[in-house]
Amino acid sequence: TEFKVRLTRRLPTSLAALEQMASVEVWPERQPPTADVLQSKLAEVDGLLCLLTDPIDQELIAAAPRLKVISQMAVGFDNIDVAAATARGIPVGNTPGVLTEATADFTWALMMAAARRVGEGDRFVRNGQWQTWEPDLLLGLDIAGATLGIIGLGRIGQAVAKRAVGFDMQILYTGRHRCDPALEAALKATYVELAELLANADFVSIHTPLTPATQSLIGAAELRQMKSTALLINTARGAIVEPEALYQALISGQIAGAALDVTEPEPISPESPLLQLDNVTFAPHLGSASRATRKKMADMAIANLIAGLQGDRLPHCVNPEVY
């Protein structure tokens, strides 16, 4: 029997192995399919490979009676109603691990860019504003020796912390679990409550998945607890931070700046007042965007898809309770 699979976007890798066992239909456009279009195309589909831009809700899953596997090319899967998939016995795959280092690298790129005002400096030079060396031109913050607060010391949070060791930073972390003492010692990381982290960190970096517990985790009250000289870096999911509260904290000087690789919604609305602020450094969700990493993510997503079609256990399954 030949399987039918659908990919919601072209992928940066070869589909040869998949094409040997399935008829593959790839959404050809740059914009994601709308929910209606996607739903209308799932009636006969056995496997779905999707991206974080595709809302895979209960209705869509119900419209795919033959679906055997949902394979997401991302580590985060908050766009998928996993409970609805589990209720149908459909395994959901993701791509953990392969993007950890690239995402930690990019977190550092944003942290350093925000601390040392790289984006502002770039605009300053291009706009022809550079007249001379000045003792007080575009002064930023020291990173070496500063205190880094990591919210969520999972794979990515740990990789961010590992890099901070070379900058002689103090590391505070918080999260659902305390890490084991050997890891804390290796990273020189201290577990604290969120309030204590916010009150003491010069840089606060978010590395938790988006869940009901982390939705709007950083709102007005939390931003008020931060130092007025501190920067907030978000490379996780936009909805973890309340955008209106962030805007207020930035214009009132409650915090010094922010670096955002993710926003809610994505893309950020062109009307968002955050876009007017020079002390926000933006990136268009590029955390894992190195050539090698995106290929590994695509390959891993295909491996999950093939395993699901064959009825094998997915190499990386987010709902192993289906087995």
Would you call the peptide bond into 212 cis, given omega within 30 degrees of 0 as the criterion? no
Considering only 155, 162, 163, 295, the residue that binds ligand GLV (CB under 6 A) is 155
Catalytic-residue membership of 237: yes
In the set 9, 237, 294, 316, the catalytic residue is 237
Q: Is 80 in the site for ligand GLV (CB under 6 A)?
A: no
3-state secondary structure of 263: coil
Q: What is the DSSP letter of 33?
A: P
Q: Is the Cβ of residue 145 or residue 315 nearer to ligand GLV in the bound state? A: 315
Q: Is 32 in the site for ligand GLV (CB under 6 A)?
A: no
| C-alpha span between 308 and 300 (Å, rounded) | 12
Q: Is 207 in the site for ligand GLV (CB under 6 A)?
A: yes
Considering only 13, 71, 100, 107, the residue that binds ligand GLV (CB under 6 A) is 100
Find, among 191, 183, 140, 141, the residue nearest to 165 by Cα.
183
Considering only 96, 121, 140, 219, the residue that binds ligand GLV (CB under 6 A) is 96
Catalytic-residue membership of 266: yes
Q: Is the Cβ of residue 74 or residue 274 nearer to ligand GLV in the bound state? A: 74
Would you call the peptide bond into 265 cis, given omega within 30 degrees of 0 as the criterion? yes
Site string for ligand GLV, 279-318 (x = CB under 6 A): --------xx------------------------------
Beta strands in the chain (DSSP E): 3-7, 22-26, 47-50, 69-72, 92-93, 147-151, 170-174, 189-191, 203-206, 231-234, 257-260, 280-282
Find, among 49, 78, 75, the residue nearest to 316 by Cα.
75
Q: Is 151 in the site for ligand GLV (CB under 6 A)?
A: no
Q: Is the Cβ of residue 100 or residue 214 nearer to ligand GLV in the bound state? A: 100
Q: Is 75 in the site for ligand GLV (CB under 6 A)?
A: yes
Find, among 148, 161, 159, the residue nearest to 114 by Cα.
148
Considering only 149, 154, 238, 243, the residue that binds ligand GLV (CB under 6 A) is 154
| C-alpha span between 6 and 49 (Å, rounded) | 6
Which residues contact ligand GLV by CB under 6 A?
52, 74-76, 96, 99-100, 154-157, 207, 287-288
